Structure 1
Amino acid sequence: MSDPHPFAPQMEYAFSIAITLSKPYWLKPTAMGATRAAIYATEGTIEGPGIKGRVVPMSGGDWPLQRPDGVIDFDARYLLELDDGTIVYLQNRGYRWAYTPEVAERMARNEPADPSEYYMRVSPKFDVPEGPYDWMGKHVFVGVAEKVPGANRIHYFKVL
């Protein structure tokens, strides 16, 4: 086994966001030949070491593009309200795709799928005021997501 690259990133768990989603509103197909949806953030929570709060209901959502190759290209934007009243703007970009057509069909029907059956990763950016949470706007994060019926749970890791 070779030594790790000297610049290989190290990561630290930061927090998880559990978000309940509205029903999707579909545009099938768009003028570009793909399928677009609008799915709104109805509620949710954020929790991790030293951070706790909620997803501001109906403050935004996701406008995913389902590509012809089956990959879902996320573009989600919504607000978080932390327990001390701090408002944080979140933008997530990422991808989800199933490892088999059978899993893709189950997920399209909003049925459970084990995280080992699909790839779902996001790259968030946070707009946050100066103060105790300004570290969120000074680091790169990687989110590893779980798709559950009617919701997502995303576990965020800070790149050190």
Structure 2
Amino acid sequence: MAIGLQFSFEINVAIERAVVIGETPLGIQHMIPITGGTIDGPDLKGVVLPGGADWLVARPDGIEEVKAVYTIETVDGDKIYVENRGYYDGVSKADVIYFRTTPMFRACGEQNAWLNRTIMVAEAEVVAEDELIRLRFYKVT
């Protein structure tokens, strides 16, 4: 049985300027506040609640490790914890930016419980002019 990907939803996460925390043994630690956003797709619709953050480490090799933690609220009122980890590489190949993540969800309620048992991957992009991160989530089938 071959593994495939099926588009599930897109999240546009509104962000503020990064706060530089400082040098760590792994690289320079940053915190990027998450101020809101929108969710739209065939499997999920709703909003990103303000109050989350992306904890980014800029490593010496030019790779950035991302760990975004935030809460989403679906149109039916369910609140879902999201932890999204991945890598941003905008330097290895000048013409291609690699920004991929693997999300993990903790959904309350039966309507969105499928998120608790679904493996997903996301492709992401920084939309600088809009100060947001756009992520397209795909279910691994």
Identify the residue that residue 56 of structure 2 maps to in structure 1: 64
TM-superposition CA deviations, 1:81-122 (whole Å, max 9, x none): 111110000000000001458x5xxxxxxxxxxxx6200000
How far has the Cα of 1:137 moved from its partner? 1.0
Q: Identify unmatched segments of 5+ residues in structure 2.
A: none
Greater Rg over alpha carbons, structure? 1
Deviation at 1:131, TM superposition (A): 1.3
Within a 5 Å distance, the mapping from 1:29-68 to structure 2 comes to 29-30=23-24, 32=25, 34-58=27-51, 60-68=52-60
Q: 1:24 pairs with 18, 21, 40, which one? A: 18
> Following TM superposition, by how much is the alpha carbon of 1:130 offset from its aligned partner in structure 2, in angstroms?
3.1
TM-score, normalised relative to structure 2? 0.92
The alignment partner of 2:23 has SS state of coil
**Which residues in structure 2 correspond to 1:1-150 (within 5 Å)?**
7-30=1-24, 32=25, 34-58=27-51, 60-100=52-92, 117-149=96-128, 150=131
AA partner of residue 29 (structure 2): R
Distance in 2 between residues matched to 1:37 and 1:157, nearest whole Å: 27
Tell me the TM-score normalized by structure 1: 0.81
Distance 2:43 2:136 in 1: 15
Structure 1 residue identity aligned to 2:117: K
Cα distance in 2 between the residues matched to 1:19 and 1:156:
13
Q: CA RMSD in A?
A: 1.6
Q: Return 5+ residue gaps in structure 1 as ranges.
A: 1-6, 104-115
Segments of 4+ moved more than 6 angstroms:
none
Instruction: Judging by fraction of residues, say which structure has more strand.
Output: 2
